[in-house]
Amino acid sequence: MTLLQYDPSGALDARTGLTPAQWAEGLAHADSLRQACLQAAAAESPWSFLDLPRQQLEAYEQHREDSELGRVFSLANGMHDRLDAVVVLGVGGSSLGAQALLQACCHPYHNELSRGGRGSKPRMYFAGDSLDNDATAALLDRLAAAGTEDNPVCDCWGLCVVSQSGERLETGVAFRQFLAALQRSRARDPGSLSKFVFPVTGPRGRLRSWVQRLGCDPILNVPDQLCSRYSVLCPSGLLPAAFLGLDCIQLLLGAMAISDHFRTAPAEENIVLQFAAANHLLHRHRGCSLRVSSVWSQSLAGLGRWYEQVLGESTGGAAAPLPITMVNPGDWHSRDPRRRSDTQNTLVNNLLLARYRTDPLAVDACRSDHGGLNFLTGKSLPELNRAASDRSIRLWQQAGFPTTTLTLPSLDTHALGQLFQLLMIASAVEAVWLGRDPFAPSAAAADLAAAYQTLPPQT
């Protein structure tokens, strides 16, 4: 399988980016950080996410259905003929990875397809990450509505609740509300309730106690030492992916390929170290605190949002980089960084696709040449998109913005596994470079918890 391609050359212009000396010194320091990170990964520490893909694949090879990955497959495959929708409850790292996988690897209108069109895979919805009254009510109404197909399975749905600790109030409140709705939907067979609740949680905590009382079996595990924002490649992301029929083996193989590359490739060829170094050094030497992920496929918008959360929580603190995502060319009109005068505080990381899942769509000829676009006849949408991205990158560079380009060979689970692992490793390395603990609890969660405590008691 082809590895991702990374091109930092747009950030290595001494006038607007890094000097050769800064780049060479930075790569050398990144190499020293790599050795420290690898030593930490060898111990029982949060850095073990580096070796998690290999460990899961080896356990599955040896133990099959008795391994954690085997339990994921057995659970998902066993429910495909018993339900037609799954609601994933979780917040932050507990659900954003699964949302990114759905958006990147499935039909853009997956939930609108017939059951046959989905290959009997369930519709998938996400909740438990906000306290939006209307959104929650609408999803509960949608689940309560009768199916439109003449198949009793189309009225059946289940809950996948994901929380390592079970402490997040947003997910806990949603679990109460959706569990009550699930109980009502299974009123004719109340004994089956626990079979339609799929928990993914840590070895201890409120959620595990709750689902144990419900009688849920199996309860899938988030390793105790794993930080939830780095959990997309454990059952937190793998179970939703398996429900959708995605190739979890290739997802893990892609991540393992990046871990091996990070471990063994020299710094001048190591795309993980180069990505971390370019981002950190531009922040340090050029003040590039605003970090734009410029994605050139709508399918990758969810991945941009996931990366915002991983990077933002890992490096959080004073003078931390601020990540935002642009989905281009649509966002070019409103978020073009050239609209700002402070060019020196912005880095644009472009994310491109070398190949799309579907056949290229060409522009048709029009007899009346409506819009004067006949000069584009025969050109495909990927060609137009690449022309737009190439010109945008040139314009940003001409305006003084440092840019980099990360190219996925294709939009499949192997490439997505590579990208997830690259961005997680790079975020953790950069946090260490900043002198911060990439796995520290989020201060925002504590702030919200304090806000809820101020509510007056119910009278």
For the chain, 459 residues long, give each residue's pLDDT as a single digit of tens: 799 999 999 999 998 899 999 999 999 999 999 999 999 988 878 999 999 999 999 999 999 999 999 999 999 999 999 999 999 999 988 899 999 999 999 999 999 999 999 999 999 999 999 999 999 999 999 999 977 777 889 999 999 999 998 888 999 999 999 999 999 999 999 999 999 999 999 998 899 999 999 999 999 999 989 999 999 999 999 999 999 999 999 999 999 999 999 999 999 999 999 999 999 999 999 999 999 999 999 999 999 999 999 999 999 877 889 999 999 999 988 877 777 665 568 999 999 999 999 999 999 998 898 889 899 999 999 999 999 999 999 999 998 999 999 999 999 999 999 999 999 999 999 999 999 999 998 766 666 666 666 656 655
In a domain, 451, yes or no: no
pLDDT at 150: 78
Structure tokens at 393: 């990158």
The alpha carbon of residue 264 and the mean position of all alpha carbons in its chain are separated, in whole angstroms, by 25
In a domain, 455, yes or no: no
3-state secondary structure of 297: coil
**What CATH code is carried by the domain that includes residue 258?**
3.40.50.10490
pLDDT at 166: 85
Looking at the structure, do residues 183 and 265 belong to the same domain, yes or no? no
In a domain, 446, yes or no: no
Structure tokens at 280: 């950190």
Phi, psi angle pair for 148, to nearest 5°? -90, -5
pLDDT at 332: 84
In a domain, 450, yes or no: no
In a domain, 51, yes or no: yes
Looking at the structure, do residues 322 and 397 belong to the same domain, yes or no? yes
In a domain, 447, yes or no: no
3-state secondary structure of 455: coil
pLDDT at 378: 94
277: exposed, middle or buried (C-beta count within 10 Å: 0-12, 13-18, 19+)? Answer: buried
Looking at the structure, do residues 117 and 191 belong to the same domain, yes or no? yes
Selection from 225, 190, 243 nearest residue 72 by Cα:
243
Domain boundary (217, 246, 275) is at 246
Looking at the structure, do residues 329 and 199 belong to the same domain, yes or no? no
Looking at the structure, do residues 122 and 33 belong to the same domain, yes or no? no
In a domain, 26, yes or no: yes
Looking at the structure, do residues 158 and 289 belong to the same domain, yes or no? no
Looking at the structure, do residues 238 and 120 belong to the same domain, yes or no? yes
pLDDT at 281: 97
Looking at the structure, do residues 157 and 239 belong to the same domain, yes or no? yes
Distance separating alpha carbons of residues 378 and 334, to the nearest angstrom: 29
Looking at the structure, do residues 282 and 406 belong to the same domain, yes or no? yes
Phi, psi angle pair for 362, to nearest 5°? -95, 155
Selection from 276, 286, 230 nearest residue 406 by Cα:
276
Domain boundary (199, 225, 246) is at 246
Structure tokens at 446: 């504590």
pLDDT at 267: 96
Domain boundary (230, 246, 262) is at 246
What total of structural domains would you count in the chain? 2
pLDDT at 448: 62
Looking at the structure, do residues 259 and 234 belong to the same domain, yes or no? no
| Residue reference for tokens 């696709």 | 353
Looking at the structure, do residues 177 and 265 belong to the same domain, yes or no? no
In a domain, 335, yes or no: yes
Give the domain extent around 130: 47-246
Bond from prior residue into 329 cis (ω within 30 degrees of 0): yes
Strand partners, 380: 362
What pTM was computed for the model? 0.95
Looking at the structure, do residues 110 and 236 belong to the same domain, yes or no? yes
Distance separating alpha carbons of residues 255 and 308, to the nearest angstrom: 19
105: exposed, middle or buried (C-beta count within 10 Å: 0-12, 13-18, 19+)? Answer: buried
| Residue reference for tokens 């356990």 | 59
307: which DSSP letter? H
How crowded is residue 80: how many other Cβ atoms within 10 Å of its Cβ? 17
